[in-house]
Structure 1
């Protein structure tokens, strides 16, 4: 039996398989590079999210604009002194309004409007409390900052995977 024709046939098959295998290795290398770029970009986004979240507590909260009516600041003043939820009737008493149904319903409408503005929270049907108090009761855990020292600037360097540098100056 002659082995040379068999070896030649194997050589042809090896050459036929080697070219696609080389192409696949090249594609894998390119995909690996793209995967590393995507992972780096995700890492930068995670760092940015962590930094922004940590810095968010350092900026004062901007209170929403109150509707134009003299009762709204007075209502908030009553809630500042309140130790628990209040009903529209309680608010009317605190504001020295007569306990007529039109006054109670008008006050309830104002309280509901403050709920829509995220200033107050409806606790039960007809009971309202300040949003900060409700959030505190939901969380029940003190806030701990992710950063222990004051920061004057935080920078994430730009590379070809991020659109631009992010610089936050306090």
Structure 2
């Protein structure tokens, strides 16, 4: 009977220990410095692309980015913009929510 009481007592203390470990982990993570923000490439086209995404309310494709940048919707222009969008996604400045569809990451 004492053995059962000891086992039940140990089981009662287990959630408290787990909660304490979670609290310690949370405190540790909150104390870590934030990673530096990714740096935007210097080329003016990237500034224009980010302005388009700042004004947009939904994810965009390369074609939808070309239009507000006053670029002709031609295969070469869309390809160049798509490459820039991929580069921005690779740096974590944009996210590719599905193939060819880009958005700013949500905080």
With structure 2 as the length reference, what TM-score do the two structures score? 0.69
Aligned equivalents of 2:100, 2:46: Cα separation in 1:
18
- For the pair 1:92 / 2:66, whether they are aligned, the reply is yes
Runs of 5+ unmatched residues, structure 2 = 1-19
Name the SS for the 2:57 alignment partner.
Answer: coil
The residue aligned with 2:80 is 106
The residue aligned with 2:96 is 122
Shift of 1:124: 2.1
| 4+ residue runs over 3 A deviation | 59-62
Name the SS for the 2:67 alignment partner.
Answer: helix
Larger Rg: 1
Name the SS for the 2:79 alignment partner.
Answer: helix
Aligned length: 87
Q: Quickly say closer, same or farther: Cα 1:78–1:61, change in 2 above 3 A.
A: farther
Q: Quickly say closer, same or farther: Cα 1:83–1:61, change in 2 above 3 A.
A: farther
Equivalent residues in 2 for 1:20-169 (5 A)?
47=24, 49-55=25-31, 62-132=36-106
Higher relative contact order, structure no. (Cα contacts within 8 Å, ≥ 6 residues apart): 2
CA-atom RMSD, angstroms? 2.4
- Asked if 1 retains the 8 angstrom alpha-carbon contact of 2:52 and 2:65, the reply is yes
- Asked if 1 retains the 8 angstrom alpha-carbon contact of 2:59 and 2:103, the reply is yes
Name the SS for the 1:105 alignment partner.
Answer: helix
Aligned equivalents of 1:52, 1:98: Cα separation in 2:
51
Aligned equivalents of 1:97, 1:62: Cα separation in 2:
32
Runs of 5+ unmatched residues, structure 1 = 1-42, 137-170
